[in-house]
Amino acid sequence: MLILGINCYLHDSSACLIGDGKIIAFVSEERLNRKKHDGGFPRMSIEYCLKEAGVKLPEVDHIAYYWDPWIGLASRGWYMLTHPVKAFGGGGRTHGGQASTDAWWNMVTVRECMEREFGVAIPKTKFHFIEHHLAHAASTFFVSEFDIADILTIDASGEWDTCLKLSGEGNRLKLIQRMSNPHSMGIVYGAFTQYLGYLLSCDEGKVMGLSSYGKDAYREFFDRIIRAEPDGTFSIDESYFNMITMRQPWLYGEKIVKEFGPPRGKKDPVTKFHEDLSSSLQWATNRIGLHLARDMHQRSGNRNICVAGGVALNSVMNGHILINGPYEKFYAQPASADDGTSLGAALYVQHVKLGAARSFVMDHAYWGPEFTDADCEAALKAHHVDYKRVDNVEQITARWLADGKIVGWFQGRMEVGPRALGNRSILADPRKAEMKDILNARVKHRESYRPFAPSCLVERASEYFHSKGHPTPYMLLVFDVLPEKRKIIPAITHVDGTGRLQTVSRNQNPKYYKLIEEFGKITGVPVVLNTSYNIMGEPIVCTPDDAVKCYLGTGIDSLALGNFIAEKNT
């Protein structure tokens, strides 16, 4: 049984092919076409998935689409009828979380688009529209290790919903509670991302990083506009936002400008006010996330929680829920935002619509393209790079890192999700305090306040982080670095003493594990600094050619490309 899941026409397009409930291939379109956050039809992603399985499109049994445009149209139509002043007062523009008229038509006709794109008819393939938040829920619970868990999905907006609480058991999902427009934590976070001078549905992570530099001086304001309700929901004072139809291309409304003054321009300096506003926004996000989780647990008594949705990429909130909340175990798959809904849509068809039992746990992130030694060597030759083949790339790379080199590390199948997890990574020594500034200036070309993440051997993580033994292989939880270790690994210790941890196990990624293990033998520290193999504004590298170009065009000192190594003259 082959099921193809697809996501397109808003942002972060992707495709995922599963066979008998197991992932065969899974990739975001941006990695293949090199257009960051691309929302177009994912032709290249679909082609890759089909090629990986060795099949043609007509051989796919089911196609699952991550959105139900008919529900979206009906919900918006009802809102326009019942709230005519709000619905028609803004000129009809819509934010990135809701489908425009063009996007709606593309969604309705997506099957016909596939037939045109691939030049084939697919009359025997059954097509399914899956509700957006149900796709999010399926994407996390059905690949978790849990037979029973609570599920929280939270983002800007699906067809109309902005947050769902569900319980999962076996192959069943049961709705506990839903929250819908205009009450959206994703829109609130996106609005202030825009107000602070950053890009919606792109730069929310920058705001999360900036928040650690400030103090939550504006708690009272956020308490006033975001209310935690006694029934376990939350409500937003929508008068501060352009949430349904927008009078301008901004989510923040005039009342926010009156409250805080003009928004920050993209090139304006970041001030203490911006830091404090970010910190207060993050405080409010943590508060609502914990409120939702506590209510779910009180209703169910379950020990496990799964999360998904764009807001679930907020690893500070996730860590806050796990450390301060009632749950013992936490799971989120690495593509928690909309790129993961292609996986979720396919899984929803497999387990809910077809009733198939679960037989698969997603315990690693490596489902993208892989390249041969011949591919790697061809890229090096094409760019006239001096190189040599080695049998001990892990040991050589560990020595480079211990000597202060910045290394481009390209191995195996590409990760899914927005974070590099040890196959498409730039690595450095976390013991050198100056390494953060060097990387931001010489390699990443990004804001100086943005932190870098630690990758640590899973068995040793509790020696360095207040993680309480929780594995976090997908870098989706922020923990405190233990106070006595902060001077040992300063380059990955954020200004507030935290780190967005990735734990690495031998089973999940033996080559990356061995590299960190070798670094630990040399230095006594089983932690490396890990950041995505790209520069600001570009997707993470996918191919050997992408990797070599980035190596040559930045301040990366050394390259480990499969079993080939290269060093720049220093």
Q: What is the CATH number of the domain that holds 445?
A: 3.90.870.20
Look at residue 85 in the predicted model and tell me its pLDDT.
52
Find the angle CA(324)-CA(97)-CA(363) to the nearest 5 degrees: 50
Q: How far apart are CA 566 and CA 548, in angstroms?
A: 10
Instruction: Please report whether residue 168 resides in a domain.
Output: no
Pairing between β-strand 498-504 and β-strand 2-7 as defined by DSSP bridges: unpaired
User: How distant, in Å, are the alpha carbons of 100, 190, 366, 525 from that of 241?
Assistant: 18, 10, 39, 47
Contact of 10 with 41, CB cutoff 8 Å: no
pLDDT of residue 96: 40
Domain membership flag for residue 364 = no
What are the 10-residue block averages of pLDDT along the chain, 570 residues in total? 97 97 98 96 98 98 97 78 56 42 87 96 96 98 98 96 98 97 95 96 95 97 98 96 64 95 96 98 98 97 97 97 96 98 98 98 98 98 98 98 98 97 98 94 89 97 95 97 98 97 98 98 98 94 98 97 91
- Both 344 and 287 in a single domain? no
- What is the distance between the alpha carbons of residues 507 and 135, in angstroms, rounded to a whole number? 28
Same domain, 377 and 517: yes
Q: Residue 259 sits in a domain of what CATH number?
A: 3.30.420.40
Tokens of 210: 């900036």
pLDDT at residue 445, rounded to an integer:
86
Q: Are residues 387 and 522 in the same domain?
A: yes
Q: Are residues 440 and 453 in the same domain?
A: yes
Q: What pLDDT was estimated at residue 100?
A: 59
Count of other CB atoms within 10 angstroms of residue 150: 27
Predicted confidence at residue 570, as pLDDT, reads 57
Whether residues 93 and 115 share a domain: the answer is yes
What residues make up the domain containing 254? Answer: 180-331
Within a domain: 152: no
CA distance 105 to 393: 50
Query: How many domains is the chain partitioned into structurally?
Result: 3
Distance of CA 463 to the CA centre of its chain: 27
**What is the distance of C-alpha 333 from the center of its chain?**
9
Report yes or no on 166 lying in a domain: no
465 and 402 share one domain: yes
| 246 inside domain | yes
Do 536 and 519 sit in the same domain of this protein?
Answer: yes
Instruction: Evaluate whether residue 169 is within a structural domain.
Output: no
Q: What's the alpha-carbon Rg for the chain, to the nearest Å?
A: 23
Annotate 390-422 with b (16+ C-beta within 10 A) or e (fewer). Answer: eeebbbbbbebbbeebbbbbbbbbbbbbbbbbb
What pLDDT shows up at residue 83?
65
Question: Is 363 a domain residue?
Answer: no
Alpha-carbon span 516 to 499, nearest angstrom = 17
Q: Do 188 and 242 share a structural domain?
A: yes
- pLDDT of 359 reads 95
Both 58 and 72 in a single domain? yes
Q: Which residues 6+ apart lie within 8 Å of 44 measured at CB? A: 29, 32, 33
165 within a domain of the structure (yes/no): no
Query: From CA 456, how far away is CA 502, in angstroms rounded?
Result: 6
